[in-house]
Structure 1
Amino acid sequence: MSVQALILVDIQNDYFPGGKWTLSGADGAAAKAAPILAAAREAGDLVVHVRHESASADAPFFVPGSEGAKLHTKVLNRADEQVILKHFINSFRDTELATVLERNGIKELVVVGSMSHLCVDAITRAAADQGYTVTVIHDACASRDLEFNGLTVPAAHVHGAFMASLAFGYATVISAEQWLAR
Structure 2
Amino acid sequence: MSANPRRALVVIDVQNEYTSGDLPIEFPPVETSLANIGRAMDAARAAGVPVVVVQNFAPADSPLFARGSVGAGLHPVVASRERDHYVEKSLPSAFAGTDLEAWLAGRDVDTVAVAGYMTHNCDASTVFEATHAGLAVEFLSDATGSVPYANEAGAASAEDIHRVFSVVMHSRFAAVVTTDAWLAAVKAGAPLARDTIYASNQRARANRVPA
| Range into which the TM-score falls when normalised by the shorter chain | over 0.9
Q: Decide which of 157, 161, 164 is 1:154's aligned counterpart.
A: 157
Tell me the CA shift for residue 116 of structure 1: 0.5
Misfit runs of 4+, over 4 Å:
77-80
Query: Is 1:93 aligned with 2:93?
Result: no
Unaligned runs of 5+ in 2: 186-211
Q: Decide which of 34, 38, 52 is 2:38's aligned counterpart.
A: 34
Q: Distance in 2 between matches of 1:80 and 1:127?
A: 20
Q: Is the 8 A contact 1:144 1:155 kept in 2?
A: yes
Could you state the TM-score of these two structures normalised by the residue count of structure 2? 0.81
Q: Distance in 1 between matches of 2:143 and 2:108?
A: 25
Please tell me whether Structure 1 or Structure 2 has the larger radius of gyration of its CA atoms. Answer: 2
Partner of 1:72: 75
Q: Is the 8 A contact 2:34 2:77 kept in 1?
A: yes
RMSD over equivalenced CA pairs, Å: 1.5
Tell me the CA shift for residue 43 of structure 1: 0.5
Q: Decide which of 4, 9, 12 is 2:12's aligned counterpart.
A: 9
The 3 A distance-change label for structure 1 pair 77 and 110 is farther
Q: Distance in 1 between matches of 2:81 and 2:99?
A: 19
**Identity of counterpart residues, as a percentage?**
29
Tell me the CA shift for residue 78 of structure 1: 4.6
Could you state the TM-score of these two structures normalised by the residue count of structure 1? 0.93
Q: What does the per-residue CA deviation read over 1:69-108, in whole Å, with 9 as the maximum and x for residues that have no partner?
A: 1111112265652110001011111111111111111100
Q: Name the aligned partner's letter for residue 48 of structure 1.
A: V
In the comparison of the two structures, how many residue pairs are matched?
A: 179
Unaligned runs of 5+ in 1: none
Tell me the CA shift for residue 67 of structure 1: 1.8
Tell me the CA shift for residue 27 of structure 1: 2.5
Query: Is 1:168 aligned with 2:199?
Result: no
Tell me the CA shift for residue 22 of structure 1: 1.3
Q: Is the 8 A contact 2:50 2:83 kept in 1?
A: no
Query: Is 1:50 aligned with 2:54?
Result: yes
Partner of 1:21: 23
Q: Distance in 2 between matches of 1:103 and 1:78?
A: 23
Q: Is the 8 A contact 1:11 1:51 kept in 2?
A: yes
Q: What does the per-residue CA deviation read over 1:122-163, in whole Å, with 9 as the maximum and x for residues that have no partner?
A: 000000110000000001001100114363211000000100
Q: Distance in 2 between matches of 1:90 and 1:180?
A: 24
